[in-house]
Chains A and B, each alone.
Chain A
């Protein structure tokens, strides 16, 4: 539909109080048509960064560019960026169609043309019959779609989404995730998606930028961020984790605090280095009855078994540390609280940080 644009952030910083950077030197290159998520806890600077891209906040330092052109001096109303706000920010006194038509009206698009575009946008989100309704007469999910249509209808260079699904219930949220993906695929527009929900970021993004304390801790594909996090923060923030301290012994062998010496995939790390070990709970298999520990296995005493339906979470204890194991429902062996059991994993799945 429109030519997708790239976005570049060069050492962007923002401070409200001198010496305290809310955003602290963000560098980012977003490719045309890419879907990039800003993932992080609240106060990590992800929303502030988004607001600076939209132009509502001015960076204290750094440079923002779209398609290679600096936009720092461009006012928000001239930036041609679409944005979906957290609470949708629909105009309450305008109908759904008027809301969607607003950006076209601002751009003095001829009426016939605008009407056609609004109708197409409403059709795209499946709300054609609701064109005349006011936001108050629409459900949360419908309001969300109207906000999305309004941010897309004028073919912006870039679309920013600020936790747009936060207020929806779980089923609706998953449905909207799929719909957003479809829209992104169909329009090919560059999208920046801010969220604190790691499953959402995982499900939708081409790349995830993990924010912490005003910096990007890691940026990479969902698989990279999930399985090979660069820091313990990323490991613990993205997904469920077993994060243990250890010391390398060379040739991929690590002496881990509660598991003893185990084999890992990191064969090129020199010996004698303090590291963190990440074993994702779902990469661990569980067998009833304790057997002798091996380089890719150990034993633990089961403290808690939680049934989630599609999977079980088994929390065990080993030498004073909790170990979490996630087992698909159909693979769950007959183990119970208080049992000793054997746990095993693949050395290649053990990530050393």
Chain B
């Protein structure tokens, strides 16, 4: 590879990863405000973060909302994926477009819509409202992941199971689900992350009691520039990386398994 290409890719990598290398060191800083490079090493902001209910509350909320979103998005997205891949019906293309729409529509526009719509339903400032909105955002992620796995799923496996005496439900339980499990897992994790690090809609419709971590960070940043925000950022980053890392690790373990084709 040409030297210039290497240089260019290094530059891009630094640009992309740069924020991580600034935020994480700052969270261990002794400085009273956000300051880079950090003058000294200190764990105080983490202690502060975990002892302040203004931070721990939103962390719990984020996990609850992320979990709820994950469950709802899977419950709705998986059947939708099966319908899209396996059945011919009128307006299928339109249905697919509708399902994937939240990927295209700017979050701020959706947020405004939810704000006024949920206002009518009395769902603004409630956890239910945030979960519902995040579910809408996460369904396309679930549908994209599951449909691509389903398209590649060999239906002859289901035929084989039926042929060997398995009824439809048994076939799903023993064959379809286990074979698609990795895709379901990825879909669920991404649905969770999608909600966990979403800020715009959370700012609009999560109230004081249901504030998510990103919303709290935004508030904190606006009002006081509490350096604990860098600890929050680092933890948010760590959580997302952990989820993705888990997935990679699982894949590595699977690839490591010995194969001996004779």
Contacts and interface: CB of A to CB of B under 8 A. Distances in A.
B170 interface: yes
A91 interface: yes
Interface size, B (range): 20 to 34
A325 B156 CA distance: 43
Contacts of A150: 164
Nearest to A98: B174
A232 interface: no
Interface in A70-108: 75-83, 85-87, 89-93, 102-103, 106-107
Interface string B151-167: 00010110111111111
B179 A92 contact: yes
Contacts of B157: 89, 91-92
Given A89-B157, A137-B259, A77 B179 contact: no
B259 A89 contact: no
Contacts of A102: 161, 164, 166, 174
Contacts of A103: 164-165
B175 interface: yes
Contacts of B179: 91-93
Contacts of B156: 85-87, 89
Interface in A101-137: 102-103, 106-107, 133, 136-137
Interface in B61-90: none
B3 interface: no
Contacts of B260: 133, 137
Given A93-B178, A137-B260, A76 B162 contact: yes
B262 interface: yes
Interface in B238-262: 258-262
A331 to B, nearest CB: 40
Contacts of A89: 154, 156-157, 159-160
A137 B259 CA distance: 5
Top 4 A-B residue pairs of the complex, sorted by shortest distance between their CB atoms: A106-B165, A89-B160, A103-B164, A89-B156
9 contacts: A55-B163, A77-B165, A82-B163, A83-B159, A91-B160, A93-B179, A102-B164, A102-B174, A106-B166
Interface of A: 54-56, 75-83, 85-87, 89-93, 102-103, 106-107, 133, 136-139, 142, 150, 154
Given A56-B159, A77-B166, A103-B164, 4 more contacts: A82-B163, A87-B154, A91-B174, A137-B258
